[in-house]
């Protein structure tokens, strides 16, 4: 069984259509997005985070950043900005626990979303504790998007649930279906289960036990189970809009394909590369995670993703879809 992580479960009541979650309150200015950035997250921090923050600021005039970390790094961002731009920066100076600091900025309503390239385990635990898990979620799922020959595809989990059970993979199916519907506007998303052969009985212990459960699983957004898919299907993108797997396999495949596409170009010439960043789904807030090896442009793309998801109210809309589907399933 997947051990439930600590952290309170958010009561149902806030998750009515149109309402926003704690930490998703919007400020007066329309279009403004206030993103908390963990200055010490990532192998090359703070340099790459400073670089990413500056790139993001320059690309989006409505962006406000809360920089969480040491004074020197925050000062490096401020020094590189024009005086008029500096009012878009808030600092939360701390030399330690910058992940927790960024999560708390969202939990306390000082930021609309957060971005970190820090330790995934620390971030998942902190987000579950401070923001709260959705009902039923034992472990939030890191949800990534990959370009495919046919468009793009949602892959989850990519690093949060490394030893999941069948119930957790079933939750990945629900979360991924809702993500594809809300963020990619896919109607009736097809959800595939990643395995190593499409004949019955293929796969490891976990995968061999799962398909029957998935067939019967009520999915949100009119989604349906599209069957077993293989590694190559994640590149071709014809068999499924959402691919469900454990966080170990998903992380290995994601990093392999991202690195391959960075070298060889994308699988479709007209594919716009998605940000190399993942959304943590299953907590009440917009939490974007970059790889530990992320560079400045990746951090900037992660910040832009967080701002976009906040402005579109995507996380609350995904929670609403899941609640509505739960209601139908329980009738």
Alpha-carbon gap, residue 66 to 53, rounded angstroms: 10
Which stretch, 69-77, 123-131, 158-166, 298-306, contacts a second copy (CB under 8 A)? 158-166
Rg of the chain in Å (alpha carbons): 19
Please answer whether residues 10 and 284 qualify as being in contact, where contact means their C-beta atoms are separated by less than 8 angstroms: yes
Residue with Cβ nearer a second copy (1 or 196)? 196
Report the residue from 82, 264, 272, 327 that binds a second copy according to the rule CB under 8 A. 264
Which stretch, 20-28, 257-265, 279-287, 312-320, contacts a second copy (CB under 8 A)? 257-265
Give the strands of the sheet with 89-93, arranged side by side: 89-93, 63-69, 33-38, 113-116, 286-290, 277-281, 141-148, 151-156, 242-244, 190-194, 224-229
Could you give the angle at the alpha carbon of 18 between the alpha carbons of 160 and 153, nearest 5°? 40
Pairing mode, strands 63-69 and 33-38 = parallel
Please answer whether residues 127 and 142 qualify as being in contact, where contact means their C-beta atoms are separated by less than 8 angstroms: no
Identify residues 289-328 at the interface with a second copy (CB under 8 A).
Answer: 292-293
Which stretch, 59-67, 70-78, 265-273, 312-320, contacts a second copy (CB under 8 A)? 265-273
Residue with Cβ nearer a second copy (255 or 311)? 255
Report the residue from 22, 135, 211, 231 that binds a second copy according to the rule CB under 8 A. 231
Identify residues 107-126 at the interface with a second copy (CB under 8 A).
Answer: 119-120
Residue with Cβ nearer a second copy (13 or 205)? 205
Nearest alpha-carbon partner for 155 in 253, 227, 228, 221: 253
Q: Please report whether residue 273 would count as binding a second copy according to CB under 8 A.
A: no
Report the residue from 188, 256, 312, 329 that binds a second copy according to the rule CB under 8 A. 256
User: Shortest Cβ distance from residue 32 to a second copy (Å)?
Assistant: 34
Q: Please report whether residue 259 would count as binding a second copy according to CB under 8 A.
A: yes
User: Shortest Cβ distance from residue 278 to a second copy (Å)?
Assistant: 12
3-state secondary structure of 301: helix
Which stretch, 31-39, 176-184, 230-238, 282-290, contacts a second copy (CB under 8 A)? 230-238
Q: Half-sphere exposure of 274 toward its Cβ, with a 13 Å CA cutoff?
A: 23
Q: Which residues sit at the interface with a second copy, rule CB under 8 A?
A: 119-120, 149, 159, 162-163, 194-199, 203-205, 207, 230-232, 234-236, 245-249, 251-261, 263-267, 292-293
């Amino acid at each position: 069984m997947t051990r439930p992580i600590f952290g309170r479960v958010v009561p149902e009541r806030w998750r009515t259509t149109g309402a926003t979650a704690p930490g998703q309150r919007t400020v007066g200015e329309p279009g403004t997005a206030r993103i908390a950035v963990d200055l010490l997250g990532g192998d090359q921090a703070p340099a790459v985070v400073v670089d990413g923050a500056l790139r993001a600021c320059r690309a989006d005039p409505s962006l406000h950043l809360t920089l969480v970390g040491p004074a020197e790094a925050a000062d490096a961002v401020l020094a590189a900005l024009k005086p008029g731009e500096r009012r878009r920066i808030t600092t939360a100076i701390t030399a330690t626990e910058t992940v927790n600091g960024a999560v708390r900025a969202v939990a306390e309503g000082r930021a609309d979303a957060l971005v970190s390239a820090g330790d995934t385990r620390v971030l998942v635990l902190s987000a579950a504790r401070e923001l709260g898990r959705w009902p039923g979620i034992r472990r939030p799922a890191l949800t990534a998007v990959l370009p495919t020959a046919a468009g793009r595809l949602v892959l989850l989990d990519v690093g949060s649930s490394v030893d999941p059970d069948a119930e957790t993979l079933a939750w990945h199916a629900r979360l991924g279906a809702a993500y594809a519907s809300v963020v990619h506007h896919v109607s009736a998303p097809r959800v595939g289960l990643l395995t190593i052969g499409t004949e019955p009985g293929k796969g490891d212990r976990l995968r061999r036990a799962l398909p029957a459960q998935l067939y019967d699983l009520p999915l949100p957004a009119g989604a349906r189970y599209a069957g077993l898919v293989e590694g190559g299907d994640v590149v071709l993108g014809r068999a499924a809009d959402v691919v469900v797997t454990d966080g170990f396999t998903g992380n290995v495949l994601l990093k392999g394909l991202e690195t391959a596409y960075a070298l060889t170009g994308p699988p479709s010439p007209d594919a716009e590369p998605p940000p190399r960043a993942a959304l943590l789904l299953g907590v009440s807030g917009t939490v974007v995670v970059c790889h530990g090896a992320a560079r400045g442009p990746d951090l900037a793309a992660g910040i832009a993703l967080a701002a976009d998801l906040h402005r579109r109210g995507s996380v609350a809309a995904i929670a609403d879809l899941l609640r509505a589907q739960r209601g139908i399933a329980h009738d």
